[in-house]
């Protein structure tokens, strides 16, 4: 009878390399004890999920803080799902969040000694291992047609037993090698299946860096490891790649826990030591009816990393926010570090919560305001420009017109101990600062009666009188207090109380308070009630332009 070894040679005559050759080609990495090798292994779906960024960020962190290596591998063996340009999208989006691999694919380039890092380019490696498994009797060709598989499934459903290709249902496991060779020679298409020796009644104890020890049914499925298209399946490729790429810790989403018995079964059949595993909790979303579910690509804009880039969230803020989901002690840490130096935070698997976390936009916005407030005027201008170049051409034009002017605007109440926290994202900037630009200002104030003047309390004549007095008296002294004295004086001359106390003592003697005067000035210069510090606004506009604006409002009224 044909031996297993002969069968392996019949199926893969072209494969001459051996497992030992591969072991030599991809030797253990020469790293310090304790250094972790981690990997992020996306499929080419053209879409980076927020949960995937979460995983990649932790992989990067664990490798960095242990003095190890983080690499990027493309899992593209499911050719049906492949979206064009995925490699570039993944690399660009990771890079935007400063999650940069040491090795792997970088667009169409690949860097590192453990490649190729794209699974569809690794067929030769997988074949060596499949051939080896056949030759030791741990894999076999399966000739089942789709109809046969459907029949098996129908039987299992009827009997209400676990579906799949295992035990008595593993039809082609029980034919002998002579029969196999005959079927191959007759040209019948086949796949290669793993021959599992497991039993799902039996539990195995596994260890996870986040979940600790737990028991899980062992694998008994003879899964397909090598498809008729010449490529492996995910499970098999993971085992082969993480072995030869010398991954020490596999960090991935919790949805893969169920596949762990298959992976461990494969590692054991190959006589390889499995890596450590850490399965991260899922990022959840609460529906209107209160139900929690996984953040969904189809239903939730925030499931796509591209959403945060397009909206202009500072990338550090999202990373910090995700780290609060990862480690319960991070929030306190980052507050104590004033939203800076997050590289110095020590991530630990022990502090990952087992429950999935709800994605909280409110908290992200809060973090974003804090992060943007830490930037100086040059930094925020640079980052705003980088955003505007891609997503907001009007904003880009404003910066191009006069970068120094833009910097001064962004600097209002910024470089100081308690900076203003008025922006959560770059996309909010344009509308907020448009009034500083004369052509945009003209548009904002053209419907003067729609401006938020308090027309109920003050007649148009009163407003005009106040404005023309301001127009005559205003100067721009070096001290804000001196400037305010002028505003106050104009107010008092026009019959306004100097402060609320004065107004309260004698309400009938005044038409309002000086704050009302400041508001009229503010609306005239900016079109808004809630613009930043008025003195700073006037400093940037200059006295002449400010007065022109006041004149324009008087004329329009």
Residue 41 near ligand GLU by CB under 6 A: yes
Q: Where is 357: in which H helix or E strand?
A: strand 357-358
Question: For 477, how many CA atoms within 13 A lie in the half-sphere containing its CB?
Answer: 11
Query: Minimum distance from CB of 101 to ligand GLU (Å)?
Result: 14
Integer Cα distance of 424 and 372 in angstroms: 7
Peptide bond preceding 116 in cis form (omega within 30 of 0): yes
Q: Which two tokens stand for residue 402?
A: 């006069």
Query: Minimum distance from CB of 44 to ligand GLU (Å)?
Result: 9
Any bridge partners for residue 283, and if so which? 357
From 39-47, 391-399, 438-446, 500-508, give the range in contact with ligand GLU by CB under 6 A: 39-47
Query: Minimum distance from CB of 126 to ligand GLU (Å)?
Result: 15
Query: Minimum distance from CB of 192 to ligand GLU (Å)?
Result: 20
Query: Contact at 8 Å (CB) between 282 and 301?
Result: no
Query: Minimum distance from CB of 274 to ligand GLU (Å)?
Result: 12
SS3 content of the chain, % helix, strand, coil (to 5): 55, 10, 35
Q: Which two tokens stand for residue 383?
A: 């980052």
Q: How many residues bind ligand GLU (CB under 6 A)?
A: 7
392: which residues sit within 8 A by CB, 6+ positions away? 312, 426, 427, 430
From 37-45, 168-176, 493-501, 544-552, give the range in contact with ligand GLU by CB under 6 A: 37-45
Residue 487 near ligand GLU by CB under 6 A: no
Among 38, 43, 86, 219, contact with ligand GLU (rule: CB under 6 A):
43
The CA distances from residue 77 to 224, 241, 425, in Å, are: 13, 13, 38
Closest listed residue to residue 191, CA positions, set 174, 209, 164, 172: 172
Query: Minimum distance from CB of 362 to ligand GLU (Å)?
Result: 29
Alpha carbon 93 to chain centroid, angstroms: 8
From residue 106 to residue 125, the character string flagging contacts with ligand GLU as x (rule: CB under 6 A) and all else as - is: --------------------
Integer Cα distance of 379 and 419 in angstroms: 14
Residue 101 near ligand GLU by CB under 6 A: no
* Beta-carbon count within 10 A of 431 CB: 11
Residue 252 near ligand GLU by CB under 6 A: yes
Residue 285 near ligand GLU by CB under 6 A: no
Among 60, 131, 193, 238, contact with ligand GLU (rule: CB under 6 A):
238
From 38-46, 171-179, 289-297, 310-318, give the range in contact with ligand GLU by CB under 6 A: 38-46
Question: For 321, how many CA atoms within 13 A lie in the half-sphere containing its CB?
Answer: 27
Q: Which residue's CB is nearer to ligand GLU, number 233 or number 381?
A: 233
From 40-48, 84-92, 193-201, 443-451, give the range in contact with ligand GLU by CB under 6 A: 40-48
Q: Which two tokens stand for residue 23?
A: 């072991």
Q: Which residue's CB is nearer to ligand GLU, number 305 or number 395?
A: 305
Q: Which residue's CB is nearer to ligand GLU, number 40 or number 194?
A: 40
Q: Which residue's CB is nearer to ligand GLU, number 41 or number 53?
A: 41
* Beta-carbon count within 10 A of 228 CB: 10
Query: Minimum distance from CB of 277 to ligand GLU (Å)?
Result: 9
From 35-43, 96-104, 185-193, 363-371, give the range in contact with ligand GLU by CB under 6 A: 35-43
Residue 132 near ligand GLU by CB under 6 A: no
Query: Contact at 8 Å (CB) between 46 and 86?
Result: yes
From 41-49, 83-91, 393-401, 506-514, give the range in contact with ligand GLU by CB under 6 A: 41-49
From 36-44, 154-162, 308-316, 394-402, give the range in contact with ligand GLU by CB under 6 A: 36-44
Any bridge partners for residue 286, and if so which? 292
Strands (E), 185-291: 191-194, 203-208, 212-217, 224-226, 249-253, 276-280, 283-286
Q: Where is 52: in which H helix or E strand?
A: helix 50-66
Among 4, 6, 75, 92, contact with ligand GLU (rule: CB under 6 A):
75
Residue 42 near ligand GLU by CB under 6 A: yes
Q: Which residue's CB is nearer to ligand GLU, number 42 or number 261?
A: 42
Residues forming contacts to ligand GLU in the complex (CB under 6 A) are 41-43, 75, 238, 252, 256
């Amino acid at each position: 009878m044909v031996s297993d070894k002969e069968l392996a040679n019949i199926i893969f005559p072209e494969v001459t390399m051996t497992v030992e050759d591969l072991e030599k080609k991809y030797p253990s990495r020469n790293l310090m004890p304790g250094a972790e090798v981690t990997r992020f292994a996306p499929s080419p779906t053209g879409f980076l999920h927020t949960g995937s960024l979460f995983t990649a960020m932790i992989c990067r962190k664990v490798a960095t803080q242990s003095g190890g290596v983080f690499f990027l591998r493309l899992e593209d063996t499911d050719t049906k799902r492949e979206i064009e340009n995925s490699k570039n999208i993944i690399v660009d989006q990771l890079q935007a969040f400063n999650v940069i691999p040491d090795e792997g694919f970088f667009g169409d380039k690949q860097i590192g000694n453990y490649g190729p890092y794209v699974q569809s380019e690794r067929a030769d490696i997988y074949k060596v291992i499949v051939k080896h498994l056949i030759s030791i009797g741990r894999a076999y060709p399966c000739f089942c047609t789709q109809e046969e598989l459907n029949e098996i499934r129908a039987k299992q459903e009827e009997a209400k037993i676990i579906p799949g290709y295992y035990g008595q249902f593993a039809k082609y496991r029980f034919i002998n090698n002579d029969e196999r060779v005959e079927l191959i020679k007759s040209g019948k298409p086949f796949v290669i299946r793993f021959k599992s020796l497991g039993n799902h009644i039996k539990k195995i104890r596994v260890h996870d860096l986040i979940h600790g020890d737990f028991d899980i049914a062992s694998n008994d499925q003879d899964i397909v490891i090598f498809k008729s298209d010449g490529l492996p399946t995910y499970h098999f490729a993971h085992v082969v790649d993480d072995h030869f790429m010398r991954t020490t810790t596999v960090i991935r989403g919790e949805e893969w826990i169920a596949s762990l018995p298959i992976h461990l079964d494969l590692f054991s059949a190959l006589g390889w030591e499995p890596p450590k595993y850490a399965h991260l909790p899922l990022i959840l979303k609460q529906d209107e009816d209160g139900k929690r579910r996984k953040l969904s690509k189809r239903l939730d804009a925030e499931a796509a990393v591209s959403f945060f880039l397009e909206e202009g969230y500072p990338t550090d803020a999202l990373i910090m926010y995700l780290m609060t989901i990862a480690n319960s002690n991070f929030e306190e840490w980052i507050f104590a570090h004033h939203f800076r130096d997050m590289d110095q935070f020590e991530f630990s698997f022990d502090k990952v919560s087992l429950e999935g976390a709800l994605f909280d936009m409110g908290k992200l916005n809060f973090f974003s305001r804090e992060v943007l407030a830490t930037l100086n005027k040059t930094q925020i201008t640079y980052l705003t420009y980088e955003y505007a170049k891609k997503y907001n051409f009007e904003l880009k034009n404003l910066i191009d017109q006069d970068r120094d002017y833009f910097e001064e605007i962004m600097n209002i109440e910024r470089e100081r101990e308690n900076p203003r926290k008025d922006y959560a994202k770059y996309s909010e900037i344009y509308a907020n600062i448009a009034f500083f630009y004369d052509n945009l200002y003209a548009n904002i104030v053209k419907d003067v009666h729609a401006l938020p003047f308090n027309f109920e309390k003050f007649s148009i004549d009163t407003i005009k009188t106040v404005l023309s007095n301001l127009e005559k008296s205003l100067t721009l002294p070096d001290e804000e207090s001196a400037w305010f004295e002028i505003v106050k004086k104009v107010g008092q001359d026009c019959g306004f109380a100097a402060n609320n106390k004065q107004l309260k003592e004698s309400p009938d003697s005044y038409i309002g308070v000086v704050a009302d005067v400041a508001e009229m000035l503010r609306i005239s210069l900016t079109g808004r009630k809630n613009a930043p510090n008025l003195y700073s606004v006037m400093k940037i506009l200059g006295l002449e332009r400010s007065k022109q604006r006041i004149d324009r409002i008087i004329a329009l009224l």
